Amino acid sequence: MDADAVRRRQRRRRRFYRIDDFYTDPAAVDIGEAGDGIVLTDIAVNPVFPTLAFGISFDSVYQIDLATGHATRIGPLGAGPQNALDVNNDGNAVVSMGNGNIYVQTGVGFAPLLAVGRTAAGDLTFDFDRSIYVAAGKDLVRAAYPSGAVSTVGRHGIPGMFGLESKGPGPLIGGDVSGRLYAIDKRTGAATRIGFPAGARNLGGLYGLAFDGAGYAPPNAEFLRDWEVLIESGDVIDGLCFGNDDDNTIPAIVNVAVVDSATLPSTFVIPVGSGEQLRPVPLSNVAQVVIAFDRQVDLSVDNLTVTGTIGDYPIANVATGPGANGQWIARWLLSSPITDDAIVLRVPDAVVSTAGGIALDGEWDNPVDVFDGASDTYPSGNRLAGGDFVFHFTVGDVGPGSPAAPDVNAPAAQAPSVAAGETIVESAGELPPAAPGAVVDVTLLPTGAAARYHVPEYREWATLFPAPSYDDSDWETGTTGIGYEVVPCQTGVVHPYTQAILADNPLGYWKLEESPPPPPAAWIANNDGLLGPNANGQYVGPVEAQRDGALAGECDYAAGFNDSTGDAVVVPFQTPLNPAGAFSVEAWIRVPATAGPARTVLSSMDVPTGSGWRLDLNQNNWQFVTYNASGTTNTISAFIGFGQEDQWIHVALTLEPQTNGTVHKRIYQQGQFSSFSQVPSYRANLAAPLRIGLDPFIGDIDEVAVYGGALSVTQIAAHFAAAAQAPPGGLGDYANLIATDVADEMGGDPSLFIRVPFDVLDPSRVVDLTLRMKYDDGYLAYLNGQEVARRNFPAAETPEFNSSASAPHLNSAAVVFENVSLDPALLVAGRNVLAIHGLEFNYDEDEHEVDFLVLPEIVAGVMNDPPIAGDDCFTFDPPPGIYFFSGDVLTNDTDPDGDALTAVGVSVPGNVILRSDGSFDVFFSPSDPNPSVTFTYRAVDAFGAASNVATVTVGACGGKIHGTKWYDANENGQRDDIVPGQIQEPGLPGWTIFLDLNGNGGLDRGEPRTVTVDDNPATPENERGQYWFMGVPPGTYVVREAPQVGWLQSYPAGESHEVTLSESGGATMVTGVDFGNYPVKESTLVDGDDTIYGWAGADTINGDNESDVPAAVNLVDGFDLIFGGDGDDTVVAQGRDDVVWGEVGSDDLDGGADVDTIRQTVDANQSISDALLTGQGPDTLVGFEKAWLVGGDGPNQLDALLFSGTTTLDGGTENDKLVGSPQADLLIAGEGNDQLEGGDGDDVYRFEVTGIVETDTVTESIAANGGVDTFDFS
From 854, 822, 843, 847, select the one nearest 753 (Cα to Cα): 854
| Distance from C-alpha of 110 to C-alpha of 1083, rounded to nearest angstrom | 76
From 220, 193, 780, 748, select the one nearest 465 (Cα to Cα): 780
Q: What is the dihedral of CA 1061, 1065, 1071, 1075, to 10 degrees?
A: 0
Residue 872 has pLDDT above 60, yes or no: yes
| Distance from C-alpha of 453 to C-alpha of 282, rounded to nearest angstrom | 51
What is the residue type of 976? D
pLDDT at residue number 830: 92
pLDDT at residue number 640: 82
pLDDT in tens, 460-487: 888 899 999 999 999 999 999 999 877 6
Average pLDDT, the chain: 77
| Distance from C-alpha of 1168 to C-alpha of 1201, rounded to nearest angstrom | 8
Under the banding of pLDDT at 50, 70 and 90, the label for residue 266 is confident
Could you name the CATH architecture of 3-244?
6 Propeller (2.120)
Note whether 1217 and 1233 are within 8 A (CB). no
pLDDT at residue number 601: 93
pLDDT at residue number 1239: 78
β-pairing, 1100-1102 vs 1075-1079, is unpaired
Q: DSSP code of 3? A: H
Note whether 862 and 439 are within 8 A (CB). yes
Residue 738 has pLDDT above 70, yes or no: yes
In 368-471, beta strands by DSSP E: 389-395, 424-425, 438-445, 450-454
Question: How far from 392 is each of 226, 275, 309, 376, CA to CA, in Å?
Answer: 27, 10, 12, 12
What is the residue type of 574? Q
| Distance from C-alpha of 1141 to C-alpha of 1181, rounded to nearest angstrom | 11
- What average pLDDT score do residues 813-818 get? 88
β-pairing, 950-955 vs 872-875, is parallel
Under the banding of pLDDT at 50, 70 and 90, the label for residue 233 is very low
Beta bridge pairs of residue 525 = 537
Q: SS3 of 835, please?
A: strand
Q: SS3 of 20, please?
A: strand
| Distance from C-alpha of 940 to C-alpha of 1196, rounded to nearest angstrom | 59
Residue 1059 has pLDDT above 60, yes or no: yes
- What average pLDDT score do residues 1140-1148 get? 71
Could you tell me how many helices (H) and strands (E) the chain has, helices first? 6, 98
Under the banding of pLDDT at 50, 70 and 90, the label for residue 748 is confident
Phi, psi of 737, rounded to the nearest 5 degrees: -90, -10
The CATH number corresponding to 872-954 among 2.60.40, 3.40.720, 3.30.70, 2.40.360 equals 2.60.40
Residues 6+ apart with CB under 8 A from 814: 732, 734, 774, 775, 776, 851, 853
- Which position has the higher pLDDT, 100 or 937? 937
Range 781-798 burial, b when 16+ CB lie within 10 A, else e: bbbbbeebbbbbbeeeee
Note whether 279 and 370 are within 8 A (CB). yes
| Distance from C-alpha of 910 to C-alpha of 1078, rounded to nearest angstrom | 52
Q: Which fold has domain 253-416?
A: Immunoglobulin-like (2.60.40)
Note whether 43 and 50 are within 8 A (CB). no
Beta bridge pairs of residue 1035 = 1061
Q: SS3 of 9, please?
A: helix
Q: SS3 of 194, please?
A: strand
The set of long-range contacts for 1258-1261, using a CB threshold of 8 Å and a minimum separation of 24, is 1258/1232, 1258/1233, 1259/1233, 1260/1229, 1260/1233, 1260/1234, 1260/1235, 1260/1236, 1261/1233, 1261/1234, 1261/1235, 1261/1236
| Distance from C-alpha of 1182 to C-alpha of 1169, rounded to nearest angstrom | 10
| Distance from C-alpha of 461 to C-alpha of 472, rounded to nearest angstrom | 14
Residue 959 has pLDDT above 80, yes or no: no
Q: SS3 of 1120, please?
A: coil
Assigned CATH for 959-1079: 2.60.40.10
| Distance from C-alpha of 1154 to C-alpha of 1173, rounded to nearest angstrom | 20
What value, to the nearest 5°, has the Cα angle with vertex 1193 and ends 1189 and 1194? 90
Domains 872-954 and 959-1079 share a fold: yes
Note whether 808 and 848 are within 8 A (CB). no
Q: SS3 of 94, please?
A: strand
| Distance from C-alpha of 530 to C-alpha of 392, rounded to nearest angstrom | 44
| Distance from C-alpha of 822 to C-alpha of 827, rounded to nearest angstrom | 10
From 624, 608, 601, select the one nearest 682 (Cα to Cα): 624
Assigned CATH for 496-723: 2.60.120.200
Q: Which of 179-188, 845-854, 913-922 has the highest mean pLDDT?
A: 913-922
Note whether 304 and 291 are within 8 A (CB). yes
Q: Where does 587-730 have alpha helices with state H? A: 713-723
Q: How many CB atoms lie within 10 A of CB 463?
A: 14
Residue 444 has pLDDT above 80, yes or no: yes
**737 CB burial (10 A radius; 0-12, 13-18, 19+):** buried
Q: SS3 of 478, please?
A: strand
Q: Where does 178-243 have alpha helices with state H? A: 221-224
What is the residue type of 1176? Q
pLDDT in tens, 609-645: 999 999 998 877 899 999 999 999 999 988 886 667 7
Q: How many CB atoms lie within 10 A of CB 37?
A: 10
pLDDT at residue number 29: 63
What value, to the nearest 5°, has the Cα angle with vertex 22 and ends 18 and 23? 165
| Distance from C-alpha of 124 to C-alpha of 878, rounded to nearest angstrom | 40
How are the residues of the chain apportioned to helix, strand and coil, as percentages rounded to the nearest 5? Answer: 5, 45, 50
| Distance from C-alpha of 71 to C-alpha of 1179, rounded to nearest angstrom | 61
What value, to the nearest 5°, has the Cα angle with vertex 1091 and ends 1093 and 1154? 115
| Distance from C-alpha of 523 to C-alpha of 1216, rounded to nearest angstrom | 84
- Which position has the higher pLDDT, 529 or 131? 529
The CATH number corresponding to 441-486+733-863 among 2.60.120.260, 3.50.50.60, 1.10.20.140, 1.10.540.10 equals 2.60.120.260
Residues 6+ apart with CB under 8 A from 998: 1004, 1007
Under the banding of pLDDT at 50, 70 and 90, the label for residue 1103 is very low
Note whether 161 and 122 are within 8 A (CB). yes
pLDDT at residue number 189: 85
Residue ranges of the domains in the chain? Answer: 3-244, 253-416, 441-486+733-863, 496-723, 872-954, 959-1079, 1092-1272
Q: DSSP code of 114? A: E
- What average pLDDT score do residues 661-672 get? 93
Beta bridge pairs of residue 33 = 15
Residue 267 has pLDDT above 50, yes or no: yes
Q: SS3 of 253, please?
A: strand
Note whether 490 and 555 are within 8 A (CB). yes
Q: How many CB atoms lie within 10 A of CB 593?
A: 8
Residue 234 has pLDDT above 50, yes or no: no
pLDDT in tens, 484-517: 877 666 667 788 999 999 999 999 999 999 999 9
**1086 CB burial (10 A radius; 0-12, 13-18, 19+):** exposed
Phi, psi of 739, rounded to the nearest 5 degrees: -95, -25
